[in-house]
A and B are shown apart, each in its own frame.
Chain A
Amino acid sequence: KNQVEQSPQSLIILEGKNCTLQCNYTVSPFSNLRWYKQDTGRGPVSLTIMTFSENTKSNGRYTATLDADTKQSSLHITASQLSDSASYICVVSSTGNQFYFGTGTSLTVIP
């Protein structure tokens, strides 16, 4: 069964600290993996997209990694800011044109 699991479910960190969010998937055949940031009540905004051959991709303070062998991805946030408070959703698409969503990690950055 094609699934995407994210951990932790929620996370609270101090402003300025780093954090890492995890995404494990069983989607096959794999096409690409996206990380989205979703503010409360808003639509998801794309942070990174990685294909099978890409191991790392950065977008400012966000760095995503992908291990296609173990089917794991992580999103590392450096020097967190209050505006980073949001849900972070991992989305895996298959070559069959299907998208599979994780339930997200809720991140709260406190001053």
Chain B
Amino acid sequence: DAGVTQSPTHLIKTRGQQVTLRCSPKSGHDTVSWYQQALGQGPQFIFQYYEEEERQRGNFPDRFSGHQFPNYSSELNVNALLLGDSALYLCASSLTLGQLHYGYTFGSGTRLTVV
């Protein structure tokens, strides 16, 4: 049973470019959350997708957008990249039942470097 799968593992982009990161949730999970983790810091919540809709959003600008597909996989898009967007981007999947999340599991992350 595969866990949470993220791709690519590493990525280098130039300032001003756009990037798309992908996440496949763990089998049986229906909710995907995205986090940005700067070096030496804890993960910062970007947004969460459930039933193909953005359900919650953290304090990130509109340059950060996402999508969830019918198979529960998700994409994170970042436009007009800034040097400060360089970070480890983590995806976490879970099963939503009511107000609770079960089996909250992280992927290995995508390391984005903006030059």
Which chain B positions have C-beta within 8 A of A31? 100
Contact count band on B: 20 to 34
Which of the 9-residue segments A65-73, A74-82, A92-100 touches chain B?
A92-100
Q: Is the CB of A41 within 8 A of B99?
A: no
Contact mask for chain B residues 3-27; partner A; CB cutoff 8 A; 1 contact, 0 none? 0101000000000000000000000
Chain A: interface residue total (CB-CB under 8 A): 20
Out of B43, B44, B104, B109, name the residue touching A34 (CB < 8 Å).
B104
Out of A36, A96, A102, name the residue touching B99 (CB < 8 Å).
A96
CB distance from A24 to the nearest CB of B (A): 14
Question: What are 28 A-B pairs at a CB distance below 8 A?
Answer: A31-B100, A36-B106, A41-B111, A42-B109, A43-B4, A43-B6, A43-B90, A43-B106, A43-B107, A44-B43, A44-B106, A45-B106, A89-B43, A93-B101, A95-B99, A96-B99, A97-B99, A97-B100, A97-B101, A98-B56, A99-B33, A99-B45, A99-B104, A101-B42, A101-B44, A102-B42, A103-B41, A104-B42
